[in-house]
Amino acid sequence: MAVRGAVLVSVVALGLVVGGLWWWAVLRLALVPEHSGVVEGAVAASGWGLSLLPVHATAARRATRASRRPRWDGISDPS
């Protein structure tokens, strides 16, 4: 259990750091574009590109025999 918590904390910390860097790059590009460089542009563009990935898409599961069977939960009529 302790290992799972440590991993979760480190993943959240990494996400906050990366998110902070992305916001820094975007705000720097928006507020002072004459002082922004290639690094800020690359960080901002890569973060925007990652947002276009369809992370909600997953492979379809095969239906099992139990899921094809009609269910009766005791609340409604099974017919």
pLDDT (tens digit per residue) in 30-53: 999 898 889 888 888 887 776 666
Whether this model's pTM surpasses 0.85: no
Q: How far is CA 45 from CA 9, 41, 58, in A?
A: 27, 6, 25
The pLDDT of residue 79 is above 90 = no
The pLDDT, as a whole number, for residue 51 is 67
Q: What is the pLDDT of residues 54-77, one digit of tens each?
A: 666 666 666 566 555 566 666 655
Nearest to 15 by CA among 54, 39, 50, 67: 50
**CB 53 within 8 Å of CB 31:** no
CB < 8 Å & 24+ apart, contacts of 52-58: none
The pLDDT of residue 25 is above 80 = yes
